[in-house]
Amino acid sequence: MRDLMTIAEAARTAKYEVARLGTHDKNRGLLAIASALEANTEKILAANVVDIENGRQNGLNEGLIDRLMLSEARIAGIAEGCRQVAALSDPVGEVLWQKTRPNGLKIGLKRVPMGVIGIIYEARPNVTVDAAALCFKAGSACILRGGKEAFHSSMCLTEIMRGALAAEGLPVDAINLVEDTSRDTANQMMRLNGYLDVLIPRGGAGLIQAVVQNATVPVIETGTGNCHVYVDASADLDMAARILQNAKCQRISVCNAAESLLVHKDVAEKFLPMAAQALAPDHVRLHGCPRTQEILGSSVIPATEEDYGREYLAYEISVKVVDSLDEAIAHINTYNTGHSECIVTESYTASQRFLEEVDAAAVYVNASTRFTDGFEFGFGAEIGISTQKLHARGPMGLEALTSQKYIIYGNGQVR
């Protein structure tokens, strides 16, 4: 087992090797990783079974078990993500602009690799590959620190990826996994100044806040998701029911799942029974306001202030009847986490106000919040979904993992 400082030294050395790789070599490595993952599917699944069994014995809820679980289809999807990243344009070296100053200096701005990117995440073994692939294509080395729940899966995936790079003659220390999953190691990683150029936490609110509050290295904050579906007075109610069912139930364990439903008072009596019917097959528990209770009856649990701000990651949702679009926007901006928000409406004016005034990384008109995803946005994969406003916001693909450098050409100018 390599300790964290050994890994940090190796990654710091490797970052210069990775930065020198051309697009062809990086793509060659990613395609080799994709093929190796598929060829070792049975080995990966066997490691994942150990994590699943340990998770159930340790009382993980079904939402976390779902995040942890791999299948042949999910492994194939992870491999396809690597191929999509390989097919993407290489951002490294792109000149964003260049201009000539009156004194003859030619000044330009170009994209450059970040260096060493650290990622701390929880029970998501797919992140092990997604993060490694994106960092590699972006010309950076990475240090991955997954949760103990996914340890065997992440170890297996990392060994396969490093082996694929070695077989291609590419720097294996471009991809590193911290094998010590203790909290002390996580805290040490948050203070790897001089080694980590940026640290990205990906997981629940507790993990993210721990990193934001304790790290001394630069951090990009990825978000928990208290996402809303707002059904406007002019909504196509059948469409709204389909969007709600998908956003809430298609996969409950992800940050872009809907956790709150807002309904305009003019359509509440008609739509709320439709919503309850759409959510009934998955036995979704409703935490509703008094008007929701009046319409749907005693099956609705009275909603508390805490419910409106909660990321359930379960078959539960908060529900509120609102008097206006203004109230819906105000409610969302009060309780959301800056992730993804949806309005269902046939009104162009309402849709544009919602798009302009809702403060979130992704805002939808007549589509499920479940699309906030690097794969769905055409990024091949994502390193996370940033809910902050500095440097990157929303699904973080290749460009978000690069920095910038000014390049200046002169012919003897002095100041």
Going along the chain from its start, the domains and CATH numbers come out as 4-222+396-409 (3.40.605.10), 227-371 (3.40.309.10)
Give the global pTM.
0.79
pLDDT in tens, 35-56: 999 999 999 999 999 999 999 9
Choose between 18 and 204: higher pLDDT.
18
pLDDT value at position 324? 97
Paired tokens of 135: 């960092």
Which residues, in sequence order, are CB contacts of 317 under 8 Å at separation 6+? Answer: 248, 258, 259, 260, 261, 279, 284, 285, 286, 287
- Cα-based distances in Å from 177 to 185, 301, 382: 12, 44, 18
Binning pLDDT at 50, 70 and 90, where does residue 379 land? confident
What is the amino acid identity at position 274? M
The β-bridge relationship of strands 301-302 and 362-365 is unpaired
The β-bridge relationship of strands 95-100 and 106-113 is antiparallel
Closest CA to 228 of 129, 319, 125, 117: 319
- Cα-based distances in Å from 85 to 118, 162, 182, 199, 392: 19, 17, 31, 21, 18
pLDDT in tens, 257-294: 999 999 999 999 999 999 999 999 999 999 999 999 99
Exposed/middle/buried for residue 306 (C-beta within 10 Å: 0-12, 13-18, 19+): exposed
Query: Does pLDDT of 168 surpass 90?
Result: yes
What is the amino acid identity at position 144? L
Average pLDDT over residues 207-231: 88
Closest CA to 90 of 397, 395, 377: 397
Residue 391, classed as helix, strand or coil, is: coil
- Cα-based distances in Å from 329 to 201, 254, 340: 28, 23, 13
Query: Does pLDDT of 178 surpass 90?
Result: yes
Q: How far apart are CA 106 and CA 258, in angstroms?
A: 49
pLDDT in tens, 112-163: 999 999 999 887 899 999 999 999 999 999 999 998 999 999 999 999 999 9
Q: How far apart are CA 404 and CA 14, in angstroms?
A: 20
pLDDT value at position 171? 98
Query: Does pLDDT of 394 surpass 90?
Result: no
Average pLDDT over residues 10-34: 98
pLDDT value at position 199? 94
Out of 19-23, 109-113, 393-397, pick the least confident: 393-397
Query: Does pLDDT of 21 surpass 90?
Result: yes
pLDDT value at position 377? 86
User: What's the mean pLDDT when you consider all of the chain?
Assistant: 93
Binning pLDDT at 50, 70 and 90, where does residue 381 land? low
Average pLDDT over residues 16-29: 98
Query: Does pLDDT of 97 surpass 80?
Result: yes
Contact 166, 140 (CB under 8 A): no
Binning pLDDT at 50, 70 and 90, where does residue 386 land? confident
Binning pLDDT at 50, 70 and 90, where does residue 247 land? very high
Contact 412, 403 (CB under 8 A): no
pLDDT in tens, 345-354: 999 999 999 9
Binning pLDDT at 50, 70 and 90, where does residue 388 land? confident
Query: Does pLDDT of 95 surpass 90?
Result: yes
